[in-house]
C-alpha cells in the first residue's frame, strides 16, 4: 500500500513537471509511473543480490555483490569487481539523495573490497598490484582459478570512483577520520594500480577482447582526476594520479575515428568497434558541471551523440524485434552487432544506457542554457528532428525546446522498448530475445537492475531541471572541467605504485605480504586443442589439484619456439614444488615425470631486476592429437 502511494506521488510530480514548460511536452503516456514502479523493483532487485542478507544472496559474504543468482547456464554466482563497483556507485548516489538506509550496505562493501584486494589470484597479488586487475572472485571472497579473460583493468578505477563518492560525503559529515583511516587506504591501492597499469593491455568489459578499451581508459582518467582532488581534501596528495591523468586523457583520444568511438584498439580482433562499451563509458564519466567536452566524450558532446546514432543504427537491421521500426525511433540494442554470446541478443542494460546518455546530455544542455549542433552530430539531430541545422540554440527559444523535447522523446523510446520486454514481475535478466523479446540468459542480473535505477535517476534529474520545481538530485561532479585539456604530445608512461592491505577497513593483517613476480617459461610442443598447465604445492599453484591448476599462456607460441608461459606472483623467500601438465583435447591429463622445485628470491628483487625468469622444457610424455 505504502509503496503504491509513494509511486503515485512520484509519478504525479513527474507528470506535473513534464507539463510545466511548453517545450517539454513529449508523449509520456504512463511512462513516468511505470518508471517509478520499476525503479523500486530494480533497487530491491539489486539489494537482493548483496550479502549477507539479500534474499537471493544466501551464503554470500557481507557487502559482496553477486552478479546474478543464476548458477547454471550461465553460472554468474560470483562477484565481479566491475559489476560490484557500478552497483555501489548507484547505491552511494541513492544514499546521497536521501536513502539513508543504504549506509550499512556501503560500509559492508568497503569492508568486502578491503578483503578482496588482499586475495592473491591468477592475475597476481596485492603486493605487486597486479592482483587488483582480477575480474571475479567466489562469493565467499576466495580466488577463482579457472581460465578467464584477465586481467580486466576497469575494476580498480570504478571502485575508486565509488569509494571517492562516499568519501566526499564523509568529509562533509564529520567523517574525516573514517575517510582517512578506513576508506582512503582502499582507494589508494586502486589509484596506484590505475596509475601503474593504465598503459598496459587487458580484457574489455565483455571479457572477450584483449587490448585497449575505451570504457576502461575513460573511467581510468576519471578515477585519477578525482583521486588527485580527494587526496588534497584529505590533506594528502596523489602524485601518481597527477602525473598520469593527462597522459590517459591523451590516449583516450585514440578511440575516436572521426565517425564514432572505436570500443577496442590494439587488439588482434577484427570488428567494427561499434559497441555499447562506448555508451557505458560516456555515462560513467558524465559530469553535470562539464561543458559538452569533446575530449572526455561527455554525453552532450558532438562525438558522443554521433557515436550514439552509429551504435543504435547498428542494431536496426539485425534483430527481428526491431523490424519495421522507423529510423527515427528507438530500437533494442545489445553489446555489439557481431556478438554471439547466447546467440547475440539485446541487453537491458545496453538499451537503457542509450536513454541514460540522452537524459545526461539533456541535463547538460539545460544547465548550459544552450545547445550546439555541428557537422559531426548533425546526422543524429536530423534523424530525430528533421528541421535541425548546424548552429547554436539558446534556451527560451522554441527551437531549443523542440530539440530537447525530441532528444527526450527519443530517449523515452528506449525505456519503452525495455518496458515492453519486462515480464510482469518486473524482474530483469541480462538479455531479451532478438527474435521475440522474451527474457534470456542470467536472471535477476544485478547490473540490469542498476542500469534501470541510474536511468530513472538521470531522467528525473533532466525533468526536474526543466521544471525548476524540484531537487534535480544530479550525480556529483568529478571535476571534469578542470581536467579536460589534452596534452599536445601523448606519453606512454607509468608510475610505480605501492600497495598495502587496508587493515582498518577489515583486510586481514597478515595478508598482502611481499611477493615476487616470477615468469615461468616452458618449451612444450602442443597440438591444436592441447594446453599446458602448472600445478604445485601452494594455493597460488592449486595445491596439486587439477581443478585449480594454473592455465598457461600460449600468446608467444611460434613454430620456431613452442613457448608456454606463466607469470605468477609468489611469496618472497619461499620454496615451491611444481610440475607442468598437459591437458589433452579430450580433457585427460598428462603429467611431467618428476617434481621441480624453485626458491623464490627475497623481497624487493623484482623492483631491482625486473621479472625473475625460470626457463625450462617439458620433460614427460607427449600428447597425441586425436585422429
CB count in 10 Å sphere of residue 387 = 10
Q: How far is CA 229 from the centre of its chain?
A: 22
Contact residues for ligand NOJ, defined by CB under 6 A: 67, 76, 80, 82-83, 205-208, 341, 447
The residues with which 203 forms a beta bridge, in sequence order, are 210
Nearer to ligand NOJ, 137 or 447 (CB): 447
Distance (Å, whole) CA 344 – CA 241: 38
Distance (Å, whole) CA 111 – CA 65: 12
Among all residues, which ones are annotated catalytic? 204, 207
Distance (Å, whole) CA 283 – CA 299: 7
* Residue 441 Cβ vs ligand NOJ, minimum distance, rounded to whole Å: 9
Spell out the residues 6+ positions from residue 66 whose beta carbon is closer than 8 angstroms to its own: 49, 50, 51, 54, 56, 57, 60, 76, 77, 78, 79, 139, 446
Q: Is 148 annotated as a binding residue?
A: yes
* Residue 455 Cβ vs ligand NOJ, minimum distance, rounded to whole Å: 17
Cα separations in angstroms, 184 against 80, 122, 178, 238: 21, 26, 8, 11
The helix/strand/coil state of 121 is strand
Classify residue 322 by its DSSP letter: G
Nearer to ligand NOJ, 131 or 623 (CB): 131
* Residue 214 Cβ vs ligand NOJ, minimum distance, rounded to whole Å: 14
Q: What is the C-alpha radius of gyration for the chain, rounded to an integer number of angstroms?
A: 25
* Residue 104 Cβ vs ligand NOJ, minimum distance, rounded to whole Å: 24
Instruction: Answer whether 270's CB lies under 8 Å from 509's CB.
Output: no
Question: Quick check: bond before 164 cis, omega within 30?
Answer: no
Q: Of 141, 38, 43, 35, whose CA–CA distance to 88 is shortest?
A: 43
Nearer to ligand NOJ, 338 or 382 (CB): 338
Spell out the residues 6+ positions from residue 213 whose beta carbon is closer than 8 angstroms to its own: 154, 202, 203, 204, 205, 263, 264, 277
Question: Quick check: bond before 151 cis, omega within 30?
Answer: yes
The helix/strand/coil state of 483 is coil
* Residue 207 Cβ vs ligand NOJ, minimum distance, rounded to whole Å: 4
* Residue 16 Cβ vs ligand NOJ, minimum distance, rounded to whole Å: 37
Nearer to ligand NOJ, 152 or 295 (CB): 152
Nearer to ligand NOJ, 78 or 580 (CB): 78
DSSP per-residue letters across 59-89? TPPTTPBPS-S--SSS---SEEHHHHHHHHH
Q: What is the side-by-side strand order in the sheet with 202-203?
A: 202-203, 210-213, 264-265
* Residue 155 Cβ vs ligand NOJ, minimum distance, rounded to whole Å: 9
Nearer to ligand NOJ, 409 or 431 (CB): 431
Nearer to ligand NOJ, 197 or 447 (CB): 447
Distance (Å, whole) CA 439 – CA 554: 37
The helix/strand/coil state of 346 is strand
* Residue 80 Cβ vs ligand NOJ, minimum distance, rounded to whole Å: 4
Q: Of 269, 120, 249, whose CA–CA distance to 206 is shortest?
A: 269
Distance (Å, whole) CA 453 – CA 352: 10
Binding positions for substrate = 148
Binding positions = 148
Amino acid at each position: 500500500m505504502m509503496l503504491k502511494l509513494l509511486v503515485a506521488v512520484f509519478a504525479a510530480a513527474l507528470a506535473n513537471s513534464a507539463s510545466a514548460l511548453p517545450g517539454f511536452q513529449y508523449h509520456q503516456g504512463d511512462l513516468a509511473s511505470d518508471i517509478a514502479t520499476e525503479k523500486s523493483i530494480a533497487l530491491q532487485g539489486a539489494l537482493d543480490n548483496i550479502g549477507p542478507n539479500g534474499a537471493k544472496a544466501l551464503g554470500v559474504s557481507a557487502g559482496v555483490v553477486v552478479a546474478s543468482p543464476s548458477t547454471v547456464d550461465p553460472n554468474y554466482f560470483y562477484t565481479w569487481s566491475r559489476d560490484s563497483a557500478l552497483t555501489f556507485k548507484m547505491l552511494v548516489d541513492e544514499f546521497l539523495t536521501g536513502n539513508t538506509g543504504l549506509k550499512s550496505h556501503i560500509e559492508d562493501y568497503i569492508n568486502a573490497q578491503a578483503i578482496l584486494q588482499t586475495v592473491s589470484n591468477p592475475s597476481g597479488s596485492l603486493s605487486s598490484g597486479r592482483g587488483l586487475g582480477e575480474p571475479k572472485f567466489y562469493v565467499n571472497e576466495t580466488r577463482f582459478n579457472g581460465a578467464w579473460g584477465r586481467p580486466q583493468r576497469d575494476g580498480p578505477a570504478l571502485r575508486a570512483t565509488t569509494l571517492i563518492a562516499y568519501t566526499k560525503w564523509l568529509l562533509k559529515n564529520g567523517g574525516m577520520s573514517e575517510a582517512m583511516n578506513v576508506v582512503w587506504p582502499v582507494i589508494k591501492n586502486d589509484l596506484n594500480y590505475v596509475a601503474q597499469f593504465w598503459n598496459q593491455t587487458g580484457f574489455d568489459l565483455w571479457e572477450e577482447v584483449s587490448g585497449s578499451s575505451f570504457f576502461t581508459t575513460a573511467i581510468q582518467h576519471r578515477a585519477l582526476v578525482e583521486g588527485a582532488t580527494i587526496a588534497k581534501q584529505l590533506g594528502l596528495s596523489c602524485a601518481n594520479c597527477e602525473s598520469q591523468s593527462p597522459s590517459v586523457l591523451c590516449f583516450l583520444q585514440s578511440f575516436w575515428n572521426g565517425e564514432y568511438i572505436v570500443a577496442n584498439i590494439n587488439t588482434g580482433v577484427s570488428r567494427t568497434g561499434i559497441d555499447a562499451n562506448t555508451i557505458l563509458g560516456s555515462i560513467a564519466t558524465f559530469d553535470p558541471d562539464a561543458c559538452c567536452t569533446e575530449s572526455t566524450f561527455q554525453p552532450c558532446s558532438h562525438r558522443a551523440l554521433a557515436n550514439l546514432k552509429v551504435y543504435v543504427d547498428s542494431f536496426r537491421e539485425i534483430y527481428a524485434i526491431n523490424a519495421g521500426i522507423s529510423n527515427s525511433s528507438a530500437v533494442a540494442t545489445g553489446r555489439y552487432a557481431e556478438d554471439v554470446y547466447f546467440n547475440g541478443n539485446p541487453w537491458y542494460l545496453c538499451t537503457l544506457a542509450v536513454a541514460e546518455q540522452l537524459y545526461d546530455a539533456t541535463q547538460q544542455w539545460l544547465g548550459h542554457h544552450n545547445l550546439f549542433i555541428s557537422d559531426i552530430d548533425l546526422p543524429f539531430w536530423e534523424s530525430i528532428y528533421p528541421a535541425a541545422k548546424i548552429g547554436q540554440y539558446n534556451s527560451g527559444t522554441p527551437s531549443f525546446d523542440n530539440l530537447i523535447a525530441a532528444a527526450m522523446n527519443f530517449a523515452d523510446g528506449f525505456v519503452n522498448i525495455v518496458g515492453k520486454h519486462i515480464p510482469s514481475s518486473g524482474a530483469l535478466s541480462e538479455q531479451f530475445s532478438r527474435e521475440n523479446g522474451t527474457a534470456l540468459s542470467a536472471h535477476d542480473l544485478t547490473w540490469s537492475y542498476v542500469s534501470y535505477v541510474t536511468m530513472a535517476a538521470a531522467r528525473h534529474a533532466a525533468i526536474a531541471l526543466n521544471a525548476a520545481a524540484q531537487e534535480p538530485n544530479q550525480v556529483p561532479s568529478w571535476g571534469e572541467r578542470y581536467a579536460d585539456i589534452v596534452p599536445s604530445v601523448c606519453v606512454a608512461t607509468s608510475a610505480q605504485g605501492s600497495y598495502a592491505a587496508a587493515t582498518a577497513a577489515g583486510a586481514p593483517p597478515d595478508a598482502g605480504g611481499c611477493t615476487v613476480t616470477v615468469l615461468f617459461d616452458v618449451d612444450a610442443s602442443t597440438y591444436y586443442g592441447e594446453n599446458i598447465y602448472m600445478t604445485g604445492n601452494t594455493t597460488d599453484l592449486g595445491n596439486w589439484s587439477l581443478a585449480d591448476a594454473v592455465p598457461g599462456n600460449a600468446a608467444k607460441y611460434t613454430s620456431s619456439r613452442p613457448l608456454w608461459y606463466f607469470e605468477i606472483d609468489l611469496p618472497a623467500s619461499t620454496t615451491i614444488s611444481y610440475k607442468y601438465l598437459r591437458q589433452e583435447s579430450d580433457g585427460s591429463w598428462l603429467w611431467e615425470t618428476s617434481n621441480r622445485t624453485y626458491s623464490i628470491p627475497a623481497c624487493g628483487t623484482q623492483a631491482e631486476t625486473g621479472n625473475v625468469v625460470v626457463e625450462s622444457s617439458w620433460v614427460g610424455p607427449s600428447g597425441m592429437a586425436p585422429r
